[in-house]
Amino acid sequence: MEYFLQQLINGLTLGAIYGLIAIGYTMVYGIIGMINFAHGEVFMIGAFIAIIAFTLVWMTGISSIPLAILLVLLVTMIFTAAYGWAVERIAYRPLRGSVRLAPLISAIGMSIFLQNYVQLLQGARIKPLPPLISGGIVLTEGNGFAVQLNYTQMIIIVVTVVLMTVFTLLITKTALGRAQRACEQDRGMAALLGIDVDRTISLTFVMGAALAAVAGLMFALYYGVVDFFIGFSAGLKAFTAAVLGGIGSLPGAMLGGILIGLIEAFWSGYFSVEYKDVAAFSILVLVLIFRPTGLLGRPEVEKV
């Protein structure tokens, strides 16, 4: 039982990171109906910016860990959001209105470009981040095994819950959220009603990239290493989570992320860590076969 609880905590932590990335996929799909395959690389850039920001913060002599993390979080969100805006402006906006295949190919090209861009700038070696947060609490103990919840896991789960609450309020209560929902329904009609569709789409990319930045920072704090390839694997898992939860649904993205994290953690704990990716992607195949709209997704209505 103790081992099960430990894997549950590990799965929830990993799922929270996947969920934050998956929200970026689902927001972009919801508003313009395309899969932003470069979003995983935006997450990877966020992780690199976090490590660079930590180095700069330490160079300024700031020794307070909470203050350093807060500053790095703000810097990472701002710069990664700028990358998200640039990706939309360069790779997708010029192709708006073209056939659906064109932005898809552009997304794949942008993904490869960003991978190579980071590899050229930062090198192919992994970048370590020394452990900043140590310690935790022991929840229960039995059979010689202690169930631990460390402080990094607490921060990841709390930050994810807070961000989900803020973004839910943003989407449901603000003018920007209403504009996003209008563009999701019908961009042409939204434009006729005076909504700046281009600005709304750009802000959606910026918001998705900011969440990916938070996920990148949490990933760096949790695992302590990043490399230019983490965006590919984490991006695929997050995309799987978005599809599993129902792409286009914010609660679905978070639910899918948590489920994928739990599947990985329990599969690694009880079966084989080498095949945890097989388990995650098998879930994607099963969902696409038996429930293509995902767990919380809505079937598309053909407009006539």
| Structural domain includes residue 138 | no
| Structural domain includes residue 135 | no
Q: Which domain holds residue 264?
A: 1-123+149-290
Tally of structural domains, the chain: 1
Q: What is the rounded distance in angstroms from the CA atom of residue 46 to the CA atom of residue 213?
A: 4
The per-residue pLDDT string of the chain (304 residues; one tens digit each, 9 = 90 and over) reads: 778 889 899 899 998 998 888 888 888 887 777 788 888 899 999 999 999 999 998 888 888 888 999 999 999 999 999 999 999 899 888 888 788 788 889 989 999 999 999 999 988 888 888 888 888 888 888 777 788 888 988 999 998 889 888 888 888 888 988 888 888 888 888 888 888 888 999 999 999 899 999 999 999 999 888 988 888 888 888 888 888 888 777 888 888 889 888 988 888 888 877 888 888 788 878 887 888 787 777 666 555 4
| Structural domain includes residue 137 | no
Question: Smallest Cα–Cα separation from 57: which of 70, 46, 68?
Answer: 68
pTM of the model: 0.88
Crossing angle for the helix pair 2-32 and 151-173, nearest 10 degrees? Answer: 30
Amino acid residing at 162: V
| Structural domain includes residue 174 | yes
Give the tokens for residue 210. 């900011």
Q: What is the rounded distance in angstroms from the CA atom of residue 20 to the CA atom of residue 24?
A: 7
Q: What is the rounded distance in angstroms from the CA atom of residue 272 to the CA atom of residue 279?
A: 10
Give strand pairing partners of 136: 150
CATH number (domain holding residue 26): 1.10.3470
Amino acid residing at 139: L
| Structural domain includes residue 134 | no
| Structural domain includes residue 143 | no
SS3 of residue 226 by DSSP? strand
| Structural domain includes residue 156 | yes
